[in-house]
Amino acid sequence: MGLFNQILTAIANPEQQASSGQIGGVLGTLQQQGQAHGTDAQGMTQVLSVVGQYVRNALKQQGSGPDQAQATVQQYSGTQPNPQAVQAVFGSQQQQVVQDTSNRTGLDASTIQSLLPVVVPLILNLLQSGTNTQNPQHGNPVLGTFLDSDTDGDVDLGDLMRAAGRFL
């Protein structure tokens, strides 16, 4: 699980933004939002997995590569709902993300629609954990691993959050 290991490394590195509190905050927000929307932990990890795949593809397709992806991560990460983050990442693909996530998780499309403004900033928050605190433009290994430059498809945020929950 390369992404989980990158986040653990970032937590241990004082030059990177990651902290166990940050990861715990993401987990707590996911749990709280799941309860608010009548979705159990398994449903939320499924949503995170599907939406995470779309976020990865969208960040990979953004114009100028890793620098633009890092700028998006920095601008839109957080633990509060942010509809602008959804628009910035997905643009006109938002309805496709909602439908596919609904189809793949069995959750109602309206539930998915209401969860996107929460889930997208949380995903970006996790990716921000690898940002260098001294020089934010200096490579982000967590983001790099998430973008999975070898394209083997080996990154699943649902698995990551299950592992983080056990770790914390």
Judge contact between 79 and 26, C-beta under 8 A.
yes
Q: How confident is the model at residue 102 (pLDDT cuts 50, 70, 90)?
A: very high
Judge contact between 18 and 157, C-beta under 8 A.
no
User: What total of structural domains would you count in the chain?
Assistant: 1
The residue among 115 and 160 whose pLDDT is bigger is: 115
Alpha carbons within 13 angstroms on the beta-carbon side of residue 149 total: 7
Helix then strand then coil, in percent of the chain rounded to 5, is: 70, 0, 25
- The confidence score (pLDDT) of residue 163 equals 57
Predicted confidence (pLDDT) per residue in 151-162, tens digit? 555 556 665 566
Judge contact between 6 and 141, C-beta under 8 A.
yes
Average pLDDT over residues 93-110: 96
- Assess whether pLDDT exceeds 90 at residue 118: yes
- The confidence score (pLDDT) of residue 161 equals 61
What string of H, E and C letters represents the secondary structure of 55-86? HHHHHHHCCCCHHHHHHHHHHHCCCCCCHHHH
Residue 33 CB neighbour total at 10 angstroms:
20
Judging by beta carbons within 10 Å of its beta carbon (0-12, 13-18, 19+), is residue 160 exposed, middle or buried? buried
CA of 136: how far to CAs of 18, 99, 160, in Å?
13, 35, 24
- What is the rounded CA–CA span in Å between residue 29 and residue 21? 12
Average pLDDT over residues 116-121: 96
- Assess whether pLDDT exceeds 90 at residue 111: yes
Task: Give this prediction's pTM.
Answer: 0.85
Predicted confidence (pLDDT) per residue in 49-81, tens digit? 999 999 999 998 876 667 889 999 999 999 999
Q: Is 132 helix (H, G, I), strand (E, B) or coil?
A: strand
Structural domain of 145 = 2-167
- What is the rounded CA–CA span in Å between residue 64 and residue 46? 30
Q: What's the whole-number average pLDDT of the chain?
A: 86
- In 3D space, the residue among 82, 87, 89 whose CA is nearest the CA of residue 60 turns out to be 89
